[in-house]
Amino acid sequence: MAAEFLKTHGIDLQDEMSSIQFPSTISPNSHANPTSDIPISDPRKARISYRKINKILNVKLPCRDHDETWDITIHNDTIASIEPHNPLSHDTTSDPQILNGGKAFLLPSLCHPHIHLDKCFLLSDPKYSDLSIEKGDFREALSLTSQAKSRFTPDDLLRRGRWLIEESIAAGVTCMRAFVEVDATVRFKCLEAGLMLKQQYQNACDIQICAFAQDPLFSGETAAEGRVLMEQAVQEDGVDVVGSTPYVEADEMQMRENIDWAVDIAIKYGRHLDLHLDYNLDGSKEPLVYYVIDALKKRSWTQNKNIMLGHCTRLTLLTSDQWYDLNRRIWELPISFAGLPTSDLFMMGRPSEPEEGSERVRGTLQIPQLIKEYYLQGTIGINNIGNAFTPQGSCDPMSLATICVAIYQAGAKEDAELLYECISTRAKAAIGSGERRALEVREGDKTDLVLVSTNAYEGGRSRRTLQELLYDPPKERRILRRGHMMHLETGSML
């Protein structure tokens, strides 16, 4: 189905995929780019090369004394030992497999738990220069995005998708959940571009593909077609997640039908479930989260797949008693909440025009409080970037954590550690790509790591603690993936 569609745009899916068959793991004895069979100028190729690393010297580690540095030994893509730094350690210039950390912080790599791959950077692309923001509200964002979607082409989707993925990898992201829309307008364009990018970048980043229904599935003229297309998409190899948006339906009954359908499809095909839910600040509306929980329990959700609930801004109006009640209802269900503050704050709480400068309710899930006080699972994500839903921001999760210091008023040491977990280990656990939520780097851990410089420039001020890194994240980072340091093909380091 999708292959036939791409063929109408001059792309042979089988030829494309056969040209980018990368090994599932990076060869432990190779220092070259594993995709070197494709010419460097070929746009299908991920512009990344790899250098094997056996030892990392003189690094700071989270959850340890910030005045101490450590030497890390790597074996079979796993941390084999962590020992106090030996000043007499080998000179890195004589062995390319030994990396001098220079007192940088060695941290677990970053994760996008919720990011839209197909709608990114629409405001940066000259192709869509006529679709500029004027009002900046949700209705306009839907309209502008709908107009853009009618113009999507495979080349366009791949170009912008590569921007997002490569900028994310450069920031330290080695894992992401990427939403791609499936509906009567785009059909399988976004899906096939996402699957192609997933394949191209598999050595650098684990990309979960979420087949996503942004449009209604039970109201409107194209609803029935949307359900058919979505079920076809979910069956595609490489699709990991079923995603839907119940709140776009015309009424509450159809919202519930949307939820039931998404849960049933996820169970039928063994996929994770991700719902954009309760995206409002209306205290008169009953949150749909309760219906989601009942739907999961009714179907005895026991499979080894996770549920993510995104936005959920309506829940910011819950009382403490209601939050504790929500915890009791969820109990052992594998549910996590995704706070998406950059989008939520841009979209939520706008006063009506006559109110002009009156009070604005800033609605976004208070993720640290949700974790610490109500013992629920949560993470934070970038969501959209460079489009009418979220024009501002970058692909760097650490810059998101910096904003969250102010949003959540989270400036203490334990706050910094929790915020970093929410863009790293907790984010990976929430999307089912990791089990441990703790920040500590330990022996036996896999070596998806980011080495963050503590200096903005040579001789400049030093950031001595993880808190300081989140207050003002340095741009200089070195990224390790499965025991290999990654480089851009241009020669610049990732």
Tens of pLDDT, residue by residue over 157-181, are 999 999 999 999 999 999 999 999 9
The residues facing 107 across adjacent strands are: 450
Report yes or no: 290 and 252 within 8 Å, Cβ to Cβ. Answer: no
pLDDT of residue 462: 78
Confidence of residue 39 (pLDDT cuts 50, 70, 90): very low
Does pLDDT of 313 surpass 70?
yes
Q: What is the mean pLDDT of residues 408-414?
A: 92
Encoding tokens for residue 319? 């009382």
Confidence of residue 20 (pLDDT cuts 50, 70, 90): very low
Distance CA 264, CA 271 (A): 10
Tens of pLDDT, residue by residue over 329-381, are 998 899 999 999 999 888 876 666 665 556 667 789 999 999 999 999 999 99
Distance CA 489, CA 204 (A): 13
Q: What are phi and psi of 156, to 5 degrees?
A: -60, -45
CA distances from 83 to 79, 87, 235, 494 (A): 11, 12, 47, 26
Q: Is 29 or 148 the better-scoring residue by pLDDT?
A: 148
pLDDT of residue 10: 47
Q: What is the mean pLDDT of residues 112-128?
A: 95
Distance CA 135, CA 142 (A): 12
Nearest to 110 by CA among 50, 153, 49, 168: 168
pLDDT of residue 138: 84
Torsion (CA) 327, 332, 333, 338 in degrees, nearest 10: 50
Nearest to 172 by CA among 453, 489, 461: 453
The model carries a pTM of 0.88
pLDDT of residue 18: 41
Lowest mean pLDDT among 67-71, 80-84, 146-150, 302-306: 302-306
Q: How many residues in total does the chain contain?
A: 494
Confidence of residue 24 (pLDDT cuts 50, 70, 90): very low
Tens of pLDDT, residue by residue over 452-463, are 988 756 667 778
Token pair 């503590």 in the structure block, residue: 454
CA distances from 57 to 82, 99, 373 (A): 10, 6, 38
* HEC string for the chain: CHHHHHHCCCCCHHHHHHHCCCCCCCCCCCCCCCCCCCCCCCCCCCCEEEEECCEEEEEECCCCCCCCCEEEEEECCEEEEEEECCCCCCCHHHCCCEEECCCCEEEECEEEEEEECCCCCCCCCHHHCCCCCCCCCHHHHHHHHHHHHCCCCHHHHHHHHHHHHHHHHHHCEEEEEEEEECCCCCCCHHHHHHHHHHHHCCCCCEEEEEEEECCCCCCCCCHHHHHHHHHHHHCCCCEEEEEECHHHCCCHHHHHHHHHHHHHHHHHHCCEEEEEECCCCCCCCCCCHHHHHHHHHHCCCCCCCCEEEEECHHHHHCCHHHHHHHHHHHCCCCEEEEECHHHHHHHCCCCCHHHCCCCCCCCCCCHHHHHHCCCCEEEECCECCCECCECCCCCCHHHHHHHHHHHCCCCCHHHHHHHHHHCCHHHHHHCCCCCCCCCCCCCCCECCEEEECCECCCCCCECCCHHHHHHCCCCCEEEEECCEEEEECCCCEC
Encoding tokens for residue 388? 């009418």
Nearest to 174 by CA among 245, 258, 112: 112
Task: Share the mean pLDDT of the chain.
Answer: 86
Q: How far, in whole angstroms, is CA 274 from its chain's centroid?
A: 12
Nearest to 181 by CA among 156, 213, 150, 157: 213
Distance CA 82, CA 245 (A): 45
